[in-house]
Amino acid sequence: MTIDFDSFTPDALRRHPTEKWCEPDVIGAGVAEMDFGVAPEVAAAVRTAVDAGALAYPTPRQEEAARAACAGWFGRTTGWEIGPGRVHLTADVLTALTLVLDHLVPAGAPVVLPVPNYMPFLSLPELFGHPVLRVPGITDAAGRYTMDLDGIDAAFRAGGRLLILCNPHNPVGRVYDRAELLALAAVVDANGGRVFSDEIHAPLVLDPTRRHVPYAAVDDVTAGHAITAAAISKGWNVPGLKCAQLIISNDADAARFAPVARFAAHQASTPGIIATAAAYDDGGPWLAEVVEYLRGNAAHLGDLVRRQLPGVGYWQPEGTYLAWLDTRGLAPEDPSRFFADHARVLTTNGAACGAPRFTRFNFAMARPTLDQALARMGEVLR
């Protein structure tokens, strides 16, 4: 299989618009979707159900296949052997978080959130009665982001109960290694805290020297305090299909979640459940090609930023398809707004991630489009 990446032109994408490509003459580099369509195995599985008119409630066997496929994928790719019985289905990762907030941590328990982070995490817990304690991350001399463990410790001591870990990290693109996760676990454990580990970007590790390490798989301590969320929606580019997995790694949570599990699964869609089994079981070759292309884009974007956007900081992400541009040195007060208004390139405003004046740029696009986006952004800065 060879994906024709160049065929995904802006015009072609606007013909069947998604949120990322729904405006004329605007390049979508904001919303976290990829421009590369869908794996043929996933499309075929969903098409079969559509053609058969079989879009009613899923069978227990279909749900079991999705749960087993998720467990199998983690086992094959990371060595985490979690049985399918510990994998629960729900609509999406944000729903998974709300289930955890409602059922697995005490009512009102404050959430510890390293920032920057995925935008909804800054506000969603508050809507469910959980205050958010933000902990700004730190960057080393090379521009590499790390979590501030002293700050996280202080937030737990100030009452925090559940840390949201995003790994691979949106927006900074870190893929944390075992040593970093162990260091974090020591802080969480010392405070009797819990971790919601959002691993939605796990299939998208770009740095060939890194591997995704599921937080709950690190040791018995992390398994005992973690609750993991996963989905095919980023790696296989089907966020509209609505099926995510909540993975429970300890007996106490398993017992507490048991009465909720049926209702959680009811929120997943039948096409999403079918696609989940197909992607995890058979979508490996498509994913490998996409990851290879994204790796090239991440390097190419570094060259483009150096040439087109002087003064902008770029650290090549280890995972995801998101670049976290340090645009604090640019003249416009609000760089993301400026690029939208003047270059017609839509990015994500760092302020929404908890870091004003930074800009998140989604580079999951055909390389000619990437060239065009950076040329436009460079032009308006000159």
Residues that bind ligand PLP (CB under 6 A): 32, 92-94, 118, 166, 170, 198, 200-201, 231, 233, 239, 244
Which residue number, 196 or 293, has a Cβ lying nearer to ligand PLP?
196
Which residue number, 32 or 39, has a Cβ lying nearer to ligand PLP?
32
Dist CA 181 CA 161 (whole Å): 17
Closest CA to 299 of 315, 281, 277: 315
Closest CA to 304 of 373, 360, 380: 373
CB of 149 to ligand PLP, least distance (A): 21
Which residue number, 298 or 381, has a Cβ lying nearer to ligand PLP?
298
Residues 6+ apart with CB under 8 A from 4: none
Closest CA to 323 of 283, 377, 256, 282: 377
Q: Report strand pairing: 27-28 vs 345-346.
A: parallel
Which residue number, 80 or 118, has a Cβ lying nearer to ligand PLP?
118
Both tokens assigned to 365: 């696009």
CB of 321 to ligand PLP, least distance (A): 10
Residues 6+ apart with CB under 8 A from 290: 3, 34, 36, 235, 237
Which residue number, 174 or 201, has a Cβ lying nearer to ligand PLP?
201
CB of 214 to ligand PLP, least distance (A): 15
148 to 67, 113, 162, 328, 376: CA distances (angstroms):
34, 11, 16, 21, 36
The H or E element spanning position 145 is: strand 145-146
Which residue number, 163 or 381, has a Cβ lying nearer to ligand PLP?
163
Distance, C-alpha 35 to centroid of its chain = 16
What is the identity of the amino acid at 312? V
CB of 355 to ligand PLP, least distance (A): 15
Which residue number, 231 or 343, has a Cβ lying nearer to ligand PLP?
231
Neighbours of 55 (CB within 10 A): 13
CB of 71 to ligand PLP, least distance (A): 18
CB of 250 to ligand PLP, least distance (A): 22
CB of 203 to ligand PLP, least distance (A): 12
